[in-house]
Amino acid sequence: MNLSFLRLSVWIYLAIFFAYLLGPLVIMAVTAFNSPSFPSATPWECLTFEWFSALFQDTRILNGIKNSIIIGAGTVVLSVLMGLAGALMLTQIWPKLRATYYTVIIAPILIPGVVLGISTLVFWDRINRMVGLGPDSVLSSGLFLTILGQSTFIASYCMLVLVARLQRYDTALTEAALDLGATHAQAFRKVLLPFMRPAIASAAVLAFLASFENYNTTTFTFGEYPTLTIELAQKVRYGISPAISALAFIIVILTVFAALTNEAAIRRRELVAAARREATVAELSGGGVKLPGFLSGNAAAGLLVALAIATIVVVGTATVYSPDQCITDIREQKRIEADLRAEELRRKRDEERKLKAAEEPAPAAPTGTGTSSGSFGGVFDPNALQNAPAAPEAEANPPAGNNSGFGGVFDPNALKGTDN
Amino acid sequence: MPRFLKDFLTRNGTGPGLVMLGLVLFWTVGLIILPQLSMLDFSFRPNLPPPEIGGPKDVYTLENYKYLVYGPEGGGQAYNAVDLMVFFRTLVAAVCVTVFNLILCYPIAYYLGQTKGNHIRVLALMLIIPYWINEILRAFALRIIFGETGVLNTILTGIGLFDTPFDFIRNDYALYAGLGYAYILLMIFPIYNVIESLDHNQIEAARDLGAPWWRIHWRVVIPYAKPGISSGCTMVFMLSAGALAAPQILGGPSSLWFTQLIYQQFNDSSDWPQGAAYAVVLLVTCILLVLAIMRLFKVNMGDIGK
């Protein structure tokens, strides 16, 4: 009983944790399809695709995507190169320097992105001035600064990924190549590089993603090249719109696609390997191995196909579907509701006024209120407000002869009077 | 030519060796060390218009650091209470976020690391997917939830817990939730990596010897996972103390994060030396704090990033 209780609590904890992790994304995705212009999931009004078309008509977003891709490409090249060089250097650096060197190249991960952005900006500004170039030279261009600033720490990530693979490399392979007469460049290109290829690929993907989503460093260096993240931040800070949810939804879907494709490919490779292992020698030599189909026993591939079909269906619906009818209905409904509410308010006010009028005989009513016949029952009548508080104050204050709200406590005479 | 350089070049070949050395030097010296020193130097200079830079007025001064502690000269206050408050609040909040993340993530990392099965791959994938989308969009998603007419308020007022919508943004709950949310992965992965290599037999042995579950964690798992825990905590602390996007989007209008002050000095009042001084203070304080805690828990710098 104790064990099953433990298991249950583990599952509940996992559920809560993943709800915290994924819930916000799901809700954001829902708001991309809801019609109110403030992104909200509740109340649900109309299914609409207009936020997607609004997104694709936003030139600033499109321009940001373009800049992000250019900067991402530059960052990938620079940081993978520096990361690889840094990783190779780590394996053969003078032992006494090793700890210091490792601290230096790992530090950019820990330095706040803001600090990296500032230091890049300040340093290259100074170099620019030393060289004597104007304010619009290459050295102060946003493109150049952003690539350098981002590469500073993204190269450290790449280095970590590459070092993990490099540790399994047998340096005897390079030595063998050199003994057989290869030049150093050839040995590097034909022996080490093919071995490192998977790690280089994952480092490049990691570098691009890190560059694409970076905000803290870029916000100081971007200059005239605002990236997508910068544009999004400015939009989100000065008024949010469901078009941003639409963009997020697209990114999430692309991510899921990429992840599922990767999963499906891995699973397929495993299945193929298993099939080959079980095949007889005759089958193998005859080329008659029955390889499993793409979809059999591969849940990720199945999901991938389902997601692709769903996407096509949704896009197809979006082109023919028009939410206009629903939106006008909702608008009409809202108008009726507002009318009803106003009507009710008016009735209540009327009743209150009648009640008041019945309680107080007509001559005692404050002057002026009676003339007001608006639906607000005279609350906006300036006289109504003035008359009411004036009466009690006049009663409380007469001895001090002071009309301030502090009831005369700051009156120097008042203090003297009590002292004596 | 020094001997080790000669050795290096013969080992790697002159061409590849020089390219490698050039790249490493550019990275370590040109991108890491010199810019930081340059920022440090810049923070000791007065804020001058470009033509006067390098002129007679360009002398070293402690002005920018004094400003953080004492406020503007003749400001009438003994201390720069606003900025100092922001500074300490940022540090305390970052520590709280780190502790919260550790408590939240340790069970998950332990579960992922010690359980075998296909569903672990799926869970790991679900963990990574939120981190492939933008930091800004993650903050935006939380803003939709915590907004005044957001989902959470609609639910809470709907079930009658509150009469009027509660302002999560003004009270900074949204900010803390957002910061915790932003760095979950950076806490889980280092701990997961270490716990995965822990031999399950050790836990079985402890259980067979009669240890209750909490003692197994306290005496076996946590000591073993210490490098991962400290690595995760260091990253989460540094990143949340240096966060800019989440406070800008989720922070209340009246409360600032220290990085926002730096941002304002660079962008709004264009007082770069002042901003550089604040950045130096942030960097140095964070590093000292992390080193102190690592000393306290006896962890090495080399364990970070594993």
Quick one: pLDDT at residue A84? 92
- Tell me if A255 and B132 make a contact (CB, 8 A cut-off): yes
CA distances from A395 to A291, A390, B173 (A): 99, 9, 47
Q: Who among A14, A114, A229 is closest to B134 (CB)?
A: A229
> Helix, strand or coil for residue A47?
strand
Verify that A210 and A258 share a domain, yes or no: no
- Whole-angstrom CA distances from A28 to A20, B41, B140 are 13, 45, 8
The answer, for B34 touching chain A at a CB cutoff of 8 Å, is yes
Nearest chain A residue to B105 by CA: give it: A17
Residue A49 is assigned to a structural domain of this protein: no
The answer, yes or no, to whether residue A79 has pLDDT greater than 60, is yes
**A178-187, A366-375, B220-229, B233-242: least confidently modelled range:** A366-375
Q: Do B132 and A251 touch (CB under 8 A)?
A: yes
Residue among A304, A247, A297 at smallest CA distance from A274: A297
Handedness of CA A284, A285, A290, A292 (dihedral sign): positive
Taking the CB of residue A258, how many other CB atoms lie within 10 A of it? 13
- Tell me whether residue A348 is in a domain: yes
Residues 6+ positions from A227 with CB-CB distance below 8 Å: A64, A67, A68, A71, A146, A212, A214, A218
User: CB-based contact (8 Å) between B272 and chain A?
Assistant: yes
Residue B164 makes CB contacts below 8 A (sequence gap 6+) with: B157
Q: Which residue has the higher pLDDT, A2 or B207?
A: B207
**For residues A239-265, average pLDDT:** 82
Query: What CATH number did the domain enclosing A94 receive?
Result: 1.10.3720.10
pLDDT (mean) for A50-57 = 80
Confidence (pLDDT) at A152: 92
CA atoms of A194 and A252, how far apart (whole Å): 32
Sign of CA dihedral B202, B203, B208, B210: positive
Nearest-by-CA chain A residue for B8: A92
pLDDT at A375 over 70: no
Burial class, B27, CB count within 10 angstroms (exposed 0-12 / middle 13-18 / buried 19+): buried
Task: Say whether pLDDT at A209 is over 50.
Answer: yes
Residues A85, A223, single domain; the answer is yes
Q: Do the Cβ atoms of B227 and B298 come closer than 8 Å?
A: no
Two tokens, residue A352:
């209150």
Relative orientation angle of helices B222-241 and B173-182, to the nearest 10 degrees? 120
Residues in A touching B213 (Cβ below 8 Å): 6
Q: What are the DSSP calls for A10-41, one per residue?
A: HHHHHHHHHHHHHHHHHHHHHHTTB-SSS--S
**Is a pLDDT exceeding 50 seen at residue A15?**
yes
- Using the Cβ of B151 and the Cβ atoms of chain A, whether some distance falls under 8 Å is answered with yes
Contact A244 B243 (CB under 8 A): no
From residue B66, how far is each of A122, B77, B89, B268, B271 by CA, in Å?
A: 21, 13, 20, 20, 15
Q: Measured between CB atoms, which of B27, B135, B287 is closest to A155?
A: B27
Domains of chain B, first to last: 62-303 (1.10.3720.10)
Residue A24, preceding bond cis, omega within 30 degrees?
Answer: no
Give residue for tokens 């009676």.
Answer: A370
- One domain, residues A76 and A222: yes
Least confident of A377-391, B19-33, B232-246: A377-391
Total number of domains in chain A? 4
Cα A136 from Cα B84, distance rounded (Å): 37
Nearest CA distance, B85 vs chain A (angstrom): 20
One-letter amino acid for residue A266 of the chain: I
Measure in Å the smallest separation between the Cα of A143 and chain B Cα atoms.
16
- Closest Cβ–Cβ partner in A27, A112, A188 for B141: A27
Whether A185 and B14 have beta carbons less than 8 Å apart is answered as no
Residues A85 and A230 placed together within one structural domain of the fold: yes
Reply yes or no on whether the pLDDT at A415 is more than 80. no
- The upper half-sphere exposure of residue B194, i.e. CA atoms within 13 Å in the direction of its Cβ, equals 22
Q: What is the pLDDT of residue A393?
A: 42
| CB contact (8 A) between residue B4 and residue A94 | yes
Between B13, B111, B266, which is nearest A185 by CB?
B13
Q: Please check whether residue A29 lies inside any domain of the structure.
A: no
The mean predicted confidence, pLDDT, of chain B is: 81
Please give, rounded to a whole number of angstroms, the shortest distance from the CA of A17 to a CA of chain B: 8
Is A329's pLDDT higher than 70? yes
Q: Is residue A313 part of a domain?
A: yes
Residue B166 tokens, joined: 């509660």
Quick check: B220 and B202 in contact, CB under 8 A?
yes
Domain of A420? 382-420
- Please report the pLDDT score of residue A288 as a whole number: 61
Predicted local confidence at residue B17, as pLDDT: 84
How far are the Cα atoms of A269, A280, B16, B24 from residue A85, in angstroms, in the given order? 32, 46, 10, 6
How confident is the model at residue A247, as a pLDDT? Answer: 85
* Maximum pairwise Cα distance, chain A: 121
Decide if B162 contacts B156 (C-beta within 8 A).
yes
Do A356 and A414 have their domain in common?
no
Q: Which residues pair with A47 in a beta bridge?
A: A34
Residue B173 touches partner A, C-beta closer than 8 Å: no
Strand partners, A34: A47
- How would DSSP label each residue in A147-198? HHHHHHHHHHHHHHHHHHHHTT--HHHHHHHHHTT--HHHHIIIIIHHHHHH
Question: Are A79 and A211 in the same domain?
Answer: yes
DSSP conformation letters of A394-416: HHHSTTTT--STTTTTT-HHHHH
Instruction: Look at B69 and A418; give whichever has higher pLDDT.
Output: B69
Q: Chain-centre distance of CA A80, in angstroms?
A: 25
Contact yes or no for B238 and A105 at CB 8 A: no
- What residues of B are in contact with residue A242 (Cβ under 8 Å)? none
State the angle between helix axes of A2-31 and A242-278 in degrees (0 to 180), rounded to the nearest 10.
130
B89-98 CB burial, b ≥16 within 10 A, e <16: ebbebbbebb
Residue B80's pLDDT is 73
Query: Based on the domain organization, do A112 and A129 belong to the same domain?
Result: yes
pTM of the model: 0.77
| A360 shares its domain with A418 | no
The answer as to whether A38 is a domain residue is no
Query: Can you tell me the distance from the alpha carbon of A40 to that of A27, in angstroms, rounded to the nearest whole number?
Result: 8
Report chain A residues whose CB lies below 8 A from the CB of B251: none
Residues A332 and A316 in one domain: no
- In a shared domain, residues A253 and A386: no
Determine, yes or no, domain membership for A36.
no
- For residue A153, the tally of other CB atoms under 10 A from its CB is 23
pLDDT at position B285 over 60: yes
If asked whether residues A150 and A211 sit together in one domain, one would say: yes
Is residue A30 assigned to a domain? no
**CB pair distance less than 8 Å for B129 and A255:** yes
Question: Nearest CA to B108 among B166, B40, B190, B171?
Answer: B190
Pairwise CB contact (< 8 Å): B242 & A216: yes
Question: Is the pLDDT confidence value at A51 over 60?
Answer: yes
Q: Between chains, do A160 and B38 touch, taking CB under 8 Å as contact?
A: no
Cβ contact B24–A89 (<8 Å): yes
Q: Which H or E element spans position A325? A: helix A324-359
Query: How far does B78 lie from chain A, in Å, by closest CA?
Result: 28
> Is the four-CA dihedral B149, B155, B157, B158 of positive or negative sign?
positive
pLDDT in tens, B100-121: 999 988 888 888 888 877 778 7
Residues A206, A69 within the same domain: yes
* Helices first, then strands: H and E counts in chain A: 17, 0
pLDDT-above-90 percentage for chain B = 4
Residues of A with CB below 8 A from B4's CB? 94
Residue A365 to chain B, least CA–CA distance (Å): 35
pLDDT of A78 strictly over 90? yes
Per-residue pLDDT tens for A132-183?
777 677 777 888 889 999 999 999 999 988 988 888 888 888 888 888 988 8
Residue B266 sits at the chain A interface (C-beta within 8 Å):
yes
Lowest mean pLDDT among A263-272, B148-157, B179-188, B190-199: B148-157
Q: What is the CA radius of gyration of chain B?
A: 24
Q: With a cut of 50, say whether residue A85 has pLDDT above it.
A: yes
